[in-house]
Structure 1
Amino acid sequence: MTGSSKPLQLAVLAVGAVLTLAGCDSSTDSGDRPTVAGQASSTPSVAPDVPSGYDTCKDIPQSVLDSEKLRRQDTGNSDANGSLKWRGCVYGRTDGYFATITTTNVTVDMTRAKNFPDATELTINGRKTIISRQTEGRREACVANVSMSNGSLDISVLNPASNRDTGQTDSCVIARTLAEKIAPTIPASV
Structure 2
Amino acid sequence: MVAAGKRKALIALVGGAVLALTGCGSSTEGSAPETPSVAAEVPTGFEPCTDIPQEALESEGLRDPMPDDASANGIKWDGCMWVQTDGYSAAIRTTNMTLEMIKGQGFPGTLEFETGGRSAIVSQQGKTQVEASCNVNVELAGGSLEFLLTNPPSRSKTGHLDTCELARNLVGKVAPSIPADA
TM-score, length-scaled by structure 1? 0.85
C-alpha separation between the residues in 2 aligned to 1:159 and 1:113? 25
Question: 1:13 is matched with which residue?
Answer: 7
The answer to whether the Cα contact below 8 Å between 2:13 and 2:127 also exists between their aligned partners in 1 is: no
Pairing of 1:17-96 with structure 2 (within 5 A): 17-26=11-20, 40=26, 41-81=33-73, 83-96=74-87
User: How far 1:53 moved relative to its partner?
Assistant: 1.3
Give the number of equivalent residue pairs: 175
User: How far 1:24 moved relative to its partner?
Assistant: 2.4
2:102 is aligned, of 105, 111, 119, to 111
Amino acid at match of 2:46: Y
**1:37-91 alpha-carbon deviations (Å, 9 max, x no partner):** xx6342211011001111110000100000100013321100011x100000000
User: How far 1:17 moved relative to its partner?
Assistant: 2.1
Question: 1:141 is matched with which residue?
Answer: 133
C-alpha separation between the residues in 2 aligned to 1:101 and 1:27? 19
Identical columns (%) = 38
C-alpha separation between the residues in 1 aligned to 2:175 and 2:162? 20
RMSD across aligned positions (CA): 1.9
The answer to whether the Cα contact below 8 Å between 1:17 and 1:78 also exists between their aligned partners in 2 is: yes
Gaps of 5+ in 1: 29-34
CA 1:143–1:27 in 2, change beyond 3 Å: closer, same or farther? closer
1:185 is aligned, of 148, 159, 177, to 177
CA 1:12–1:136 in 2, change beyond 3 Å: closer, same or farther? closer
Gaps of 5+ in 2: 27-32
User: How far 1:27 moved relative to its partner?
Assistant: 7.4
